[in-house]
Structure 1
């Protein structure tokens, strides 16, 4: 089983308007409401790929119930832990070629609720082969919460794929409990290195440094320009096909799903990189976030160019 973790999920609400007027009434007919969160995007793509997948995190209130109902409707296993607080809304107003976002911070998770999550995670850990942890921590959780999950995962030989950023990612990379894979983008890698930006030469130098020596896979995504990938001591350059993106939101989550599925299937290095990155391309071609057309997988993989970087 592959388990995805989204500790601070949301109901994503999208309002599409021709015009958005401040300090006025805006009436909208084009509305969508979906179960949102990076790990839920990962889970949806894994489900479409036919993988045995479950989701976990914290859910509360009527909005938490809405997310549970959506997950049940598409057949994804629900391992979420109930909390007293109300799951948040995240609103996107799409207007005049722009997107205005209103993001709630979410509920405060109590110490007892956090401990319940750790207990539940430990209980089903023996059933799990791969864990994909995505996103930030909700309020109330200690900064070392991901490290506790990593420690438990390592105890049970579970491979952890981590997609986070900032101080969380920095502390985890520096800790003794290493994830199996991390997926920073250029901006997140620069932040991790304490720089404002990085070019491709600097990325290659960083991936060859001792900082990432004990992280088997590091996938640095470069948007439309592909990725630079490290597996153990080998570096790869990956170039993705040029496409007319419909909705690139969630493509990073889809890449995590692709790598999780590819690892579960035992794909070799270059095959795995092509397969993983293809999911990001396929997500960008769909209007819905965290969705792919499985009939286009063979095409996308065939369009990928992956080669070793000689140092």
Structure 2
């Protein structure tokens, strides 16, 4: 079973308003609400791939109860730490061909909350074979929190995939115990290294040779429609994807993590791992719902992903 961690989940509310009027009344005919957060997008896609998955993280209040209800309705097993605060809403207003987002910060956790979650996490590790950690940390937790979780996984011999950014990611990478896989983009690489990283094989290869990344088995640099650049052990790969009709790109990186996690859990060869991850990411962009893929199209697009090993 795969354990997915979402430390700051939300209810994602989408308001389609064709012509948004500022400082006026706007009526919404068809709002949608989903259990959101990057880790829960990962969870849904893993479930759609037919893999056993357990969702964890921190929830509170009526919003937290709604998230649990939604997961349970979709037959997704979950075991969250419950706190005496309200989880957050994240609102997207779709208007005039644009998307305006209003994101609540969410609860502020105490040191006791953090310790209680780590105790739960350690218990859950005994029943899973791989972990994904996605998204931001809630306020109140130290930026070193994820690196503690990576170390706890390593102590139990469980691979941990980390998909976060900013100081949380930096702290993970500066630690001597490394995650099994990470999925940065070029902007995040530039921020981490403090120098410009370009979308070229030579620039990306040089960036991933930095000491910060040593000891990480899989580094998947996502490049959107251009595919990905990947370092696996000492090998480099360029992965390209076919042109597709994009319906909703939100969550495609999370779907990529889901495909990566499932393939790695089954110890697939590198070619299959990369094609699976890219395929699930593509399939998500072709659906209106975030964190959703049509598995009937998997084989067709899997065959269209091209993987080239780079001699560097």
- What range is the shorter-chain TM-score in? over 0.9
TM-fit CA distance, 1:288 = 0.3
Aligned to 2:203: 202
CA distance in 1, matches of 2:140, 2:292: 32
**Contact kept in structure 1, 2:4 and 2:132, CA below 8 Å:** yes
1:99-110 matches, cutoff 5 A:
99-110=99-110
**Contact kept in structure 2, 1:17 and 1:30, CA below 8 Å:** no
Stretches of structure 1 lacking an aligned partner (at least 5 in a row): none
TM-fit CA distance, 1:195 = 2.7
1:191 and 2:181 are equivalent in the alignment: no
CA offset digits 1:132-165 (Å, max 9, x no partner)? 0001110111121111111111111110000011
Aligned to 1:89: 89
1:173-192 matches, cutoff 5 A:
173-192=173-192
TM-fit CA distance, 1:197 = 4.8
TM-fit CA distance, 1:169 = 1.1
CA distance in 2, matches of 1:30, 1:227: 36
1:72 and 2:35 are equivalent in the alignment: no
Taking structure 2 as the reference length, the TM-score comes to: 0.98
CA offset digits 1:221-269 (Å, max 9, x no partner)? 1000000000000000000111010001000000000000001122100
Aligned to 2:304: 303
RMSD of equivalent CA atoms: 1.0
TM-fit CA distance, 1:21 = 0.6
1:211 and 2:212 are equivalent in the alignment: yes
Aligned to 1:143: 143
CA distance in 2, matches of 1:179, 1:32: 35
CA distance in 1, matches of 2:169, 2:198: 17
**Contact kept in structure 2, 1:49 and 1:294, CA below 8 Å:** yes
CA distance in 2, matches of 1:106, 1:261: 30
Aligned to 1:279: 280
Provide runs of 4+ in structure 1 moved above 2 Å. 195-199, 208-211
CA offset digits 1:163-206 (Å, max 9, x no partner)? 01111111211111210000001111111111355332311211
Count of residues paired in the alignment:
311
CA distance in 2, matches of 1:131, 1:29: 39
- Partner of 2:195, secondary structure, is coil
Aligned to 1:46: 46
CA distance in 1, matches of 2:123, 2:56: 13
Aligned to 2:253: 252
CA distance in 2, matches of 1:138, 1:210: 29
CA distance in 1, matches of 2:28, 2:221: 39
- Partner of 2:126, secondary structure, is helix
- Partner of 1:192, secondary structure, is helix
CA distance in 2, matches of 1:181, 1:215: 6
- Partner of 1:127, secondary structure, is coil
CA distance in 1, matches of 2:235, 2:97: 42
CA distance in 1, matches of 2:207, 2:195: 12
Aligned to 1:111: 111
**Contact kept in structure 2, 1:64 and 1:87, CA below 8 Å:** yes
